[in-house]
Amino acid sequence: MKTVPFWVAISPVIFLIGILAFNLSIFGDEGLNGSNQIVLLLTASLASAIGLLYGVRWKVIQEGILQNIMAAMPAIIILLLIGSLSGAWMLGGIVPAMIYYGLQILHPFIFLPACAIISAVVSLSTGSSWSTVATVGVALIGIGKALQMPDPLTAGAIISGAYFGDKLSPLSDTTNLAPAVAGTELFKHVQYMMLTTIPTFAITLLIFTAIGLYCSFATSYTFSHADSLTYVLENTFTIHWSLLIVPLGTFYLVARRIPAIPAMFIGILGGVICTFTFQSELIMKLSHQTFSLRIFYEYVLKALYGKIQIPVHHPILSELLVSRGMAGMLNTVWLIISAMIFGGAMEASGLLPAIVSRLSRLANSDGSLVLTTSLTAILMNLTTADQYLSVAITGRMFKNVYLLRNLAPENLSRTVEDSGTVTSVLIPWNTCGATQSTVLGVSTWSYAPYCFFCYLSPFMTVLFAYLQIKIKRLE
């Protein structure tokens, strides 16, 4: 195999970004329905062709692609289960109950920082940004709609809090992965990461507080509007505090390190039980028939696999009380598989190593080394479309470079998490960006400008390095 020049190796990335930008101008938010997937497959073809020209055998490229797809299978299974979970929790009245009680305590002035804090607490306790967004995040989006808050702003606050908790939780996969590949201990990594993460989250909360205090949509809110929403919810569903046991139980299971897939199954089962126990009148209203086990089975299955619309005479709630079930996740699954094909082709064709090798030459000081590491992690998110690969590849690549510079491995693990974990959700074709946009019903392009925590984090870690703040050296 011949060495691939940098300008050749980077060409598929430039092509991908350019075509996706053009695609966005034509299809907008509809890009997820197929056009973005085709662009990713075309770019994977370009990367494979370059690899073949430089002596890589097709069998090697194919194996690299298949390995990349297999690495994404757990995420795909979880994504499909999230679709069923949202349907079960909607039909069972769980999401409406969370919205109902949320409207009692949240006001637009404090709503955005409250979203970030609630998401941070749940994510910190469960160690999963995905579970947080799929459960409490969905409810908060509903409350935001009811409070006339723009969806992208609400999504930005939810994601900022969820990824803050994900980064600092000892239960998080990436929080365990980063110190493992960098060569340090978990709690040393968490303690060192708090130095950049807590100030970043504090700035994020200040920004969201300022938006809530000074923007017009907050001042136009009236409590009579919330009263009308709660009245419709009360007359559509059987609302009871015990419905909240299911999401709290799901959070508890995840926090106790129960794997996400069985925890999701239990959450779905809880939604089905709530449907049978509390929502028999709703089932009769939807079916126009007397409640029976056959009708119950039919509508539960519809909620789990497909679209279900709860009929209400309210413009906001009619849009909100919709679930698309497992079928609603299929475009995202298609996107993830296409992104994994692209990432596998880039890695197996030798293009990714060529890009990274060139970037590593730019590091000639502590600040530039951290900057290069940060840019590499972001590039890995762009090209491999997976945050785990971003953290693992970047950490593995720079481990010896940090040791040679007499820098403690905590510097590397912190930089990788500050840049790799949080920026994944800002990229539409990354597994995180594709999943969160589908779950929240807000396109990645729309919410990305408001995920203040996610792009302040890499900036903060680079700033600390250039100012030599808390840069730990080996004894």
**What percentage of the chain carries pLDDT values higher than 90?**
33
Neighbours of 470 (CB within 10 A): 13
Q: Are residues 60 and 91 in the same domain?
A: no
- Where residue 104 falls among pLDDT bands split at 50, 70, 90? confident
Least-confidence region, from 28-32, 126-130, 226-230, 319-323: 28-32
Q: Are residues 232 and 305 in the same domain?
A: yes
* 3-class DSSP state of 323: strand
Residue 475 lies in a domain: no
Per-residue confidence (pLDDT) for residue 302, from 0 to 100: 93
Judged against a pLDDT cut of 70, whether residue 218 lies above it is answered with no
Q: Are residues 454 and 412 in the same domain?
A: yes
Residue 64 lies in a domain: yes
Q: Which of 83, 70, 69 is nearest to 264 (CA)?
A: 83
Q: Are residues 311 and 365 in the same domain?
A: no
For the segment 106-111, the average pLDDT, to the nearest whole number, is 78
Q: Where do runs of H (alpha helix) occur along 259-408?
A: 260-278, 280-287, 293-305, 315-320, 330-348, 351-360, 366-384, 387-404
Residue 474 lies in a domain: no
Side chain identity at residue 61, one-letter code:
I
For the segment 427-434, the average pLDDT, to the nearest whole number, is 88
Judged against a pLDDT cut of 60, whether residue 246 lies above it is answered with yes
Residue 66 lies in a domain: yes
Residue 471 lies in a domain: no
Q: Are residues 389 and 245 in the same domain?
A: no
Per-residue confidence (pLDDT) for residue 418, from 0 to 100: 92
Q: What is the pLDDT of residues 365-388, one digit of tens each?
A: 888 899 999 998 998 888 877 788
Domain that includes residue 46, residue range: 6-70+329-466
- Where residue 332 falls among pLDDT bands split at 50, 70, 90? confident
Q: Are residues 245 and 142 in the same domain?
A: yes
pTM of the predicted model, to two decimals?
0.77
User: Mean pLDDT for the chain?
Assistant: 85
- What tokens were used for 268? 């779905």
Torsion of CA 405, 407, 412, 418, to 10 degrees: -110
Give 308's DSSP letter. E
Domain end, chosen from 301, 328, 355, is at 328
Contact 196, 414 (CB under 8 A): yes
Per-residue confidence (pLDDT) for residue 457, from 0 to 100: 95
Side chain identity at residue 211, one-letter code:
I
Q: Are residues 100 and 230 in the same domain?
A: yes
Domain end, chosen from 328, 360, 393, is at 328
**What percentage of the chain carries pLDDT values higher than 70?**
95
Q: Are residues 56 and 99 in the same domain?
A: no
Domain end, chosen from 296, 328, 360, is at 328
Residue 157 lies in a domain: yes
Residue 232 lies in a domain: yes
Please give the full DSSP string across 180-205, using - where no structure is assigned: HHHT--HHHHHHHHHHHHHHHHHHHH
Q: Are residues 266 and 364 in the same domain?
A: no
Please give the full DSSP string across 226-288, using - where no structure is assigned: HHHHHHHHHHHS---GGGGHHHHHHHHHHHTT--HHHHHHHHHHHHHHHHHHH-HHHHHHHHT
Q: Return left, alpha or beta for 128; rule: phi > 0 is left, psi -120 to 50 is alpha, else beta.
A: beta
Judged against a pLDDT cut of 60, whether residue 222 lies above it is answered with no
Contacts (Cβ under 8 Å, ≥6 apart) of 448? 156, 426, 454
Q: Are residues 13 and 121 in the same domain?
A: no
Residue 246 lies in a domain: yes
- Where residue 42 falls among pLDDT bands split at 50, 70, 90? very high
Q: Which residues pair with 323 in a beta bridge?
A: 308
Q: Are residues 348 and 423 in the same domain?
A: yes
Q: Which residues pair with 308 in a beta bridge?
A: 323
Distance CA 395, CA 84 (A): 35
Distance CA 324, CA 415 (A): 38
Helix (H) or strand (E) holding 48: helix 35-53
Q: Are residues 45 and 117 in the same domain?
A: no
| Total count of domains within the chain | 2
Judged against a pLDDT cut of 90, whether residue 173 lies above it is answered with no
Q: Which of 324, 328, 295, 296 is nearest to 310 (CA)?
A: 324
Judged against a pLDDT cut of 80, whether residue 107 lies above it is answered with no
Question: CA quadruple 296, 298, 302, 304: dihedral positive or negative?
Answer: positive
- Where residue 113 falls among pLDDT bands split at 50, 70, 90? very high
Least-confidence region, from 142-156, 224-238, 414-428: 224-238
